[in-house]
Amino acid sequence: MNNTSATPTSQLSKTIWRIFLIIMGVAFIFSIFSYVKTVLLMLLIAWLISVILNPLVDYLESIGFNRALAILTIMAIILGGIIALIIGIIPTVIKAVESISATLKSDLISNLTIQLEQFFQEKFNNPDLARDLINKAEQIGGALLVEVAGFLKNAGTYVAFVGIVPIITFFLIKDRRLFKRALISQVPNRYFELFLNVLHKVDSQVTKYIQGQAIDALIVGLLSIIGLFIINLVFDNPVPYFFVIGMIAGVANLIPYLGPYVGAVPAIVLTILNNPDNVGYIIFWIIVVFVLVQLIDNNLVSPMVVSKSVNMHPITVVIAVIIGGNIAGIFGMLFAVPFWGIIKVTMREVSWGLRSYKLK
């Protein structure tokens, strides 16, 4: 039976039916998005990690490792590093949180004391006194409960993240080719070579882009840590938590144009809070460190490791960051630009494929 014998009416109804299904599909995805957001985020993070680790696994495989063993070896090394980092950083972070909360508590208590004194002086005989106090206590208790509940909820999510992301990552690396074959097996013969070729090109460019961004973030992070460490050596530790700030600067570097400020601002704010001698002079040197890091990054590191194929206009970057922030908060802001880069590469390669292949 020849397919071309279908009447124009049946073709029109088929097209309308397809459009309807697409609209329903998009509406369905939007309606369930808030429920599956965490799972999607886990998948996205696992995929990004798998893309970054894949060349190392390939290298170990090339020198004779079994693929699964190669993945486990690399993951064990990374896990060891993270544990060492946590052991090194957690006490410092706890100390910081304790000192900040102690300051807050003392301020809060003193403010409350002053208010209570005024209250007792002015309205000692007011009958609403007891009710006001109870209301206040209820409000504070309620807020505390909400905070605890929020923490527990987030703690559950973090545990799920820490437990599930490495498992997904393991299988994404180990069965990478199987997933690709399963996907391609669904493509009709007519589009098979086009799809396969475009998929390989997108995969190759996106992999290079993500790996480049990861190496760039690592180098910027290390340079920032070294710069702030030198300031601490010279000026008697004016920048607290310089290691954490350096890491933030590295990760924030994923956002072009805006990232450097995300690194520099906490360093300056924490230095002001620390209130050392010559604070203005130290802030000047912090700015010098971040400007130098950016100069090195823009002129040496970035041109070598980051693909130029995903260059973006500053306005595009700002819009992508705002949309990413609205969709997935801070993660969305961080990954908006790389994600837009991936979309850009995909669109370009699909367009190349459609121009190059005869689809008749």
Partner 1 sequence: MNHPLWDPISPKNKSEMSDIMQILAKMPIFSDLDSKELKEVEKIIYHRKYKKGEPIFRMGDPGLGMYIIINGAVEIVEEPENGTRTKLAELEKGAFFGDMALLDEKPRSASAIAMVDSDIIGFFRPDFLDLLYRKPRMGIKILWALSRVVGERLRKTDEQLTNLQREMKAKRHE
- Beta carbons of 49 and 169 less than 8 angstroms apart: yes
Candidate segments 31-39, 105-113, 178-186, 322-330, binder of partner 1 by CB under 8 A: 178-186
Our finding on whether 192 is near partner 1 (CB under 8 A) is yes
Our finding on whether 3 is near partner 1 (CB under 8 A) is no
Alpha helices in 235-359 (DSSP H): 242-252, 259-274, 279-296, 302-305, 314-356
Degrees (nearest 5) of the Cα angle 29, 33, 34?
155
Contact set for partner 1, span 329-358 (CB under 8 A): 356-358
Shortest distance, position 357 Cβ to partner 1, whole Å: 5
Identify the residue among 86, 184, 287, 347 touching partner 1 (CB under 8 A).
184
Residue count at the site for partner 1 (CB under 8 A)? 19
Identify the residue among 75, 89, 196, 262 touching partner 1 (CB under 8 A).
196
Identify the residue among 58, 138, 147, 236 touching partner 1 (CB under 8 A).
58
Question: Among candidates 360, 340, 270, 268, which has minimal Cα distance to 4?
Answer: 360
**Residue 90 or 183: which CB sits closer to partner 1?**
183
Identify the residue among 11, 204, 237, 326 touching partner 1 (CB under 8 A).
204
**d(C-alpha 12, C-alpha 296), whole Å:** 59
- Beta carbons of 341 and 285 less than 8 angstroms apart: no
128 DSSP 8-state letter: T
Question: Among candidates 202, 198, 196, which has minimal Cα distance to 181?
Answer: 196
Candidate segments 74-82, 165-173, 182-190, 266-274, binder of partner 1 by CB under 8 A: 182-190
**d(C-alpha 227, C-alpha 284), whole Å:** 13
Our finding on whether 283 is near partner 1 (CB under 8 A) is no
Shortest distance, position 211 Cβ to partner 1, whole Å: 14
**d(C-alpha 119, C-alpha 164), whole Å:** 54
Other CB atoms within 10 A of residue 351 CB:
11
Identify the residue among 98, 132, 138, 193 touching partner 1 (CB under 8 A).
193
To which H or E segment does residue 179 belong? helix 176-184
Contact set for partner 1, span 59-88 (CB under 8 A): 61-62
**Residue 69 or 140: which CB sits closer to partner 1?**
69
Helix, strand, or coil (residue 208): helix
Candidate segments 183-191, 241-249, 280-288, 305-313, binder of partner 1 by CB under 8 A: 183-191
**d(C-alpha 335, C-alpha 329), whole Å:** 10
Shortest distance, position 348 Cβ to partner 1, whole Å: 15
Binding site for partner 1 (CB under 8 A): 58, 61-62, 177-178, 181, 184-185, 189, 192-193, 196-197, 200, 204, 356-358, 360
